[in-house]
């Protein structure tokens, strides 16, 4: 058994964003699931844009406040907006495009759970800036940084998901 006080875990910067994100996976010794604590002030979001994890399901348990998710199964189609309130849980299966943010005037606290733990296969709905051939870019890790890669020309670019 591992017991952990979230207050003892230092916030980890999320790219350029100054959000309160505390990775709990390693301190808990979790081997098969990723766990993150988020406290979002008004206007803050989990990541910088609509994205899909191709090999990971995600569950968001809203502990306090309200999170607004933009969701779609097909990024070429319209997105749906869903508000998830305190004591509610939402699940996204692999391949679902989603983006969560705090659109309220109050702080929001969320526990995010993803399995499998070490997911890196993702996709963002963006046209390749080099070749213009692909309407989505795959996420890749390059020297420990999250980047995106065009499946048509293999160009690699900043992800913008910070």
What percentage of the chain has pLDDT greater than the value 90?
Answer: 62
Q: What pLDDT shows up at residue 88? A: 98
Res 47 pLDDT > 90: no
What is the C-alpha to C-alpha distance for residues 19 and 43, in angstroms, rounded to an integer?
10
Res 16 pLDDT > 60: no
Q: What pLDDT shows up at residue 64? A: 98
Q: What pLDDT shows up at residue 162? A: 55
Q: What is the pTM of this model?
A: 0.86
Residues near 159 by beta carbon (within 8 Å), at least 6 away in sequence: 48, 124, 139, 146, 147, 148
Q: Once rounded to an integer, what is the mean pLDDT over residues 122-141? A: 87
Q: Would you tell me which CATH number, out of the four given (3.30.310.50, 2.60.120.10, 3.40.50.300, 2.40.40.20), belongs to the domain 19-115?
A: 2.60.120.10
Question: Which two three-digit tokens encode residue 2?
Answer: 């591992």
Res 83 pLDDT > 70: yes
- Asked which of 38-47, 80-89, 129-138 is least confident by mean pLDDT, the reply is 129-138
Q: What pLDDT shows up at residue 103? A: 97
pLDDT digits over 51-69, tens only?
A: 899 999 999 999 999 999 9
Question: Which two three-digit tokens encode residue 141?
Answer: 């890790």
- pLDDT averaged over every residue in the chain: 90
Res 17 pLDDT > 70: no
């Amino acid at each position: 058994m591992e017991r952990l006080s979230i207050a003892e875990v230092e916030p980890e910067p999320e790219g350029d964003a100054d959000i309160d994100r505390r990775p709990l996976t390693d301190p808990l010794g979790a081997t098969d699931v990723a766990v993150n604590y988020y406290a979002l002030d008004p206007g803050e979001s989990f990541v910088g844009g609509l994205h899909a994890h191709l090999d990971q399901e995600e569950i968001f348990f809203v502990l306090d406040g309200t999170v607004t998710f933009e969701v779609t199964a097909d990024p070429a189609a319209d997105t749906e907006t869903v508000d998830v309130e305190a004591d509610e849980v939402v699940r996204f299966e692999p391949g679902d495009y989603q983006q969560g943010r705090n659109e309220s005037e109050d702080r929001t606290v969320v526990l995010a759970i993803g399995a499998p733990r070490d997911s890196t296969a993702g996709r963002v709905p963006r046209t390749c800036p080099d070749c213009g051939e692909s309407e989505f870019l795959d996420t890749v890790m390059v020297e420990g940084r999250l980047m995106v890669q065009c499946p048509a020309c293999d160009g690699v670019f900043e992800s913008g998901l910070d």
